[in-house]
Amino acid sequence: MLLSSFWSHPLVETTGYFSVTVLCLVLSMVIFEVVTKYKNWEEIKNGNVAVALATGGKIFGVANIFRHSIQQHSSLPEMLAWGGFGFFLLIMAYWLFEFLTPRFNVDEEIGNGNRAVGLISLIISVGLSYVIAASIT
């Protein structure tokens, strides 16, 4: 009885959700590092504002999706499953953005420091994260 009350204590639950979400966020950044042609953190270190904007949008988007997943689900496995699915949809949105802009290569433009493309990437990530999060049931 004492152990079950420990795991259901709000501070323990919050710490658990926070820890798992941070791990998922780190994993998502690794995955984004693989799917983009530029090296996110190296470019940010070198002052590439376009990459910082795009990466910030991805971080916000993933965090927003997991926020809604935590609110909608009472178990950690459900939260992870829906948050992971939402992250998958966010990656699909990124590829869709690339596909719908045939006149230029999104990754190249962001990697080359095109802040306008970086800003649009941020807005797409944030905006679609709200749509994805709203649909998480």
Residues of the chain with pLDDT under 50: none
Q: Tell me what pLDDT residue 98 has.
A: 86
Contact criterion met (CB below 8 Å) for 84 and 39: no
pLDDT of residue 1: 56
pLDDT value of residue 37: 86
For residue 134, the model assigns a pLDDT of: 94
Domain count along the chain = 1
Identify the pLDDT of residue 95. Answer: 87
pLDDT for residue 3: 65
Q: Are 116 and 92 a contacting pair, CB within 8 Å?
A: no
Domain region containing 22: 1-135
pLDDT value at residue 5:
76
CB-based contacts of 6, cutoff 8 Å, min separation 6: 12
User: So what's the pLDDT on residue 105?
Assistant: 92
Tokens of 105: 């290569």
